[in-house]
Chains A and B, each alone.
Chain A
Amino acid sequence: GAVVSQHPSRVICKSGTSVKIECRSLDFQATTMFWYRQFPKKSLMLMATSNEGSKATYEQGVEKDKFLINHASLTLSTLTVTSAHPEDSSFYICSAEGPTDTQYFGPGTRLTVL
């Protein structure tokens, strides 16, 4: 149990376009999900907290207009990278709090912006 999925697993887009990444909790409900960004050979950096039915909370330095987060249901949060640029290329990972107060992580989405 406690599986988190992400879609797509990989995406390549042109500079200036927008990309939507989905994060789903498959067998549990999550009122809160989190979005992280992982650079190559680097640690995970928390970007924002996604709250079901309310606005996301962004970490300092993360542009909320650049990274739009929507948590439309108890099992789905989406991250939209708007007007993507090559520096937005990264590995984006979501997590959701499952049973036993444990964070369960999605497999990640690799975004490449050309």
Chain B
Amino acid sequence: AQSVSQHNHHVILSEAASLELGCNYSYGGTVNLFWYVQYPGQHLQLLLKYFSGDPLVKGIKGFEAEFIKSKFSFNLRKPSVQWSDTAEYFCAVPPYNQGGKLIFGQGTELSVKP
């Protein structure tokens, strides 16, 4: 079965610093990949997704992620974070790459200091 791991549990950055959050998945076949964000007190929102095509995916709010098949990775990046990016970030993948249900990584809490 598919699994997802996120390397960083809690990341603390100052504003304008660059961000990279790691995400690795286990299943090596065709895979759809997602990054979701959960702002304090709010529901999960989709940041970006990869289904096929260009492995560099651009999402909302200046985020992007790169799918590297050889590394089973889908790391999330942002060149310059803002205080408003403080949130919990989740990488997710469908199990067996089917259906709409998702397996989530452990989540990474990002704290951005003003």
Contact = CB atoms under 8 A, between A and B. Distances in A.
Nearest to A46: B101
B87 to A, nearest CB: 14
A103 B100 contact: yes
B43 A107 contact: yes
Interface string B51-84: 1000000000000000000000000000000000
Contacts of B102: 34, 44, 46, 95, 103
Contacts of B90: 43-44
A49 B101 contact: yes
Contacts of A45: 104
Interface residues of A, number: 22
A44 B100 CA distance: 15
A102 B43 contact: no
Given A104-B46, A105-B36, 4 more contacts: A44-B90, A95-B44, A95-B100, A107-B42
A42 B43 contact: no
Q: How many interface residues does chain B have, given as a range?
A: 20 to 34
Contact of A108 (B34, B43, B51): B43
Contacts, number: 49
Interface in A2-52: 4, 32, 34, 36, 41-46, 49
Interface of A: 4, 32, 34, 36, 41-46, 49, 93, 95, 97, 101-108
Nearest to A30: B100
A102 B101 contact: no
Contacts of B51: 101
A93 B103 contact: no
B63 to A, nearest CB: 16
Contacts of A105: 36, 43-45
The 4 A-B pairs of least Cβ separation, nearest first, read A105-B44, A97-B100, A107-B43, A44-B104
Nearest to A94: B43
13 contacts: A34-B101, A34-B102, A43-B104, A43-B105, A43-B107, A46-B104, A49-B101, A95-B44, A95-B100, A101-B100, A103-B102, A105-B45, A107-B43
